[in-house]
Amino acid sequence: MTSAHRLTLRDLPAYRTGCEQGYRLQPGQVVILVGLATCGLAAGGADVAAAIREELASRQPEVCAAGRQVEVRSTGCLGLCEQEVLVDVHFAGQPRLTYAHVTPDLARRIVAEHVVGGRPIENRIIGRIEDEDHPYKDQTACAKQVRIVLANCGFIDPERIEHYVARGGYAGLERVLQGLSPAGVIAEVKVSGLRGRGGAGFPTGLKWEFAARAAGDKKYVVCNADEGDPGAFMDRSVLEGDPHAVIEGMLIGAYAIGADEGYIYCRAEYPLAIKRLRVAIEQAEALGLLGRNILGTGFGFELHIKEGAGAFVCGEETALMASIMGLRGTPRPRPPFPANRGLWDKPTNINNVETWANVPRILVRGGAWFAGIGTERSKGTKVFALTGKIRNTGLAEVPMGITLREIVYEIGGGIQNDRQYKAVQIGGPSGGCMPASLLDTPVDYDSLVAAGAMMGSGGMVVVDEGTCMVDLARFFMAFVQSESCGKCPPCRVGTRLMLETLERICAGEGQPGDIDWLVDMGRKIKAFSLCGLGQTAPNPVLTTIQYFRDEYEAHIRDKTCPAGVCPALVSFGVIADKCKGCGRCIKVCPSGAASGKLKEVHSIDAALCIRCGACFEACKFEAIERGQPAAAPAEVAG
């Protein structure tokens, strides 16, 4: 790229045309795309990319002879995280072909056989993309997905602003600056029906209007990128795959409310997202799309990145603002709301990453278009991070109103190893579990709240029959307890007492009345806590009690863990009739408890057994029996 020159509104269309020429494949061109978001890198993407480059370099004469111009592009996450490393080969004028689970060796073969030789390695190809707006539409996992927020993820190189612009980027800002008034922008967002994607679902247009109307000589906009729910990585993928969408959304929001400064509060555990945001901010500033006198219109907006230091509670907006201001990240009561008194007591508008990323598309395609997607009260799409015991771990963007069943069984591909679906935990530690009986619940803000869960930021942890719901509740309670800011007694002390009670139940020391006590205390914590963390912290416990009360009762009354998870309530033994003496249990046992000679009946030494269940999972002959622990031997006197 030549040294950037600052664009004006008038230059932008011509600049975009240039970008499009660079982005679209020219005849004879081949683009190799490597997924290098955190998911791709974790799977070894960097080595794969290096292998591709090396192989290309060594085959330069052949590439030239074949008349190919080959470009390697790194992209963000397509959503198929479980299949990373993903490498796509795209010949101009042909569908883009996707290889999954690519190793450096396979990458070299792909270059040699497909890119140079023109012979796709058919048995390693998992899908084809003909339409960038609807990838893999012929596959069940993708057929029902609608990509608005993730539209660019996996297509553009997130570190090249030209790619973003080529895919229609900054057209929303262009439309706004061409003559839409701030009130006009807010009206468009209101028409769209967009609600906050951070979890609570407050109408975005209304929020902007509050901040726009608030009196103040200085205003701020903030992007909440402190995604901290266990199992949630939607925002990370957006920031890593399409950072300019968030920046453009913030620019439009700043214009609408009259802000000239903004912060992206991103957790420091997302170094790649932060790096790509920095690159994006630099590039946008260099082109005059950010900073002073944007596109020559006089509108100015300065954007900073603030790295969070690892506190979950800083995802709560008042704690987040305190943290930006250099204070301890602790929530404060509202009112005053940030719209009136936010950062440094100035009117401030805070939205989540996904909310901001929706904004440019709404401004380009119109609020009415957006409102045409989803349900009556929940418009547009929602990105979910599917994790747990589901086949297709990864990201999915679905229209609001889709059922849980469609997400789990069609998009998610069902439960791993064909086991039984038990529940999905939606909304992380603030949300609740949805049992099989609620699989047909439409996924929208209001239906989920009615079921005792919440949309949350979009984490979906799927659990199967091998998960103990009491243990699951205990896990989330331990999480919120250690992440509570400690300010208000209901959250600080109440969640500790709930956790201790759950630990007791899991240890087989539950007492009659514990369940009712948990419900009572959970309701009190919800009603009396200061902030959203405490007000939602008991949800996992309350919903697991609501839908799986029998499991709690089994722990307390029968001292058994039906799922065979809680170590104190389970024991493992060998069923002599079924054991073939294959040695699998011995191989997987981490504590040396399983023993025996080959082809003879094995045994498990209860004294050494740590009750991890590895032998139970590994045995092919169902010869491991999981049962209640034998009563502890009476201590020998003396």
Kindly list the residues in this chain that would bind other proteins in the complex (CB under 8 A): 311, 313, 328, 330, 332-333, 335-336, 481-490, 492-497, 500-501, 513, 517, 520-521, 524, 527-530, 535
b/e per residue 554-589 (b: at least 16 CB within 10 A) = bbbeebbbbbbbbbebbbbbbeeeebebbebbbebb
CB atoms within 10 A of CB 525: 26
Query: Min. distance of Cβ 575 from other proteins in angstroms?
Result: 40
Residue 389 near residue 464 (C-beta atoms within 8 A): yes
Cα 482 from chain centre:
22
Question: How many whole angstroms separate alpha carbon 63 and alpha carbon 69?
Answer: 7
Residues in Cβ contact with 614 at an 8 Å cutoff, skipping those fewer than 6 apart: 585, 588, 589, 590
Question: How many whole angstroms separate alpha carbon 610 and alpha carbon 209?
Answer: 58
Residue 494, classified by CB atoms within 10 Å of its CB into exposed (0-12), middle (13-18) or buried (19+), is buried
Question: How many whole angstroms separate alpha carbon 373 and alpha carbon 597?
Answer: 63
Structure tokens at 113: 């056989």
CB atoms within 10 A of CB 94: 13
Residue 67, classified by CB atoms within 10 Å of its CB into exposed (0-12), middle (13-18) or buried (19+), is exposed
Query: Min. distance of Cβ 561 from other proteins in angstroms?
Result: 22
Query: Min. distance of Cβ 486 from other proteins in angstroms?
Result: 3
By beta-carbon proximity to other proteins, the closer residue of 156 and 311 is 311
Residue 520, classified by CB atoms within 10 Å of its CB into exposed (0-12), middle (13-18) or buried (19+), is exposed
Residue type at 514?
D
Residue 385 near residue 458 (C-beta atoms within 8 A): yes
Residue type at 18?
G
Query: Min. distance of Cβ 1 from other proteins in angstroms?
Result: 45
Query: Min. distance of Cβ 344 from other proteins in angstroms?
Result: 14
Structure tokens at 497: 């007492």
Query: Min. distance of Cβ 425 from other proteins in angstroms?
Result: 21
- My answer on whether omega of the bond before 633 falls inside 30° of 0, hence cis, is no
Nearest C-alpha neighbor of 79 from the set 400, 430, 413, 364: 413
Residue 565 near residue 555 (C-beta atoms within 8 A): no
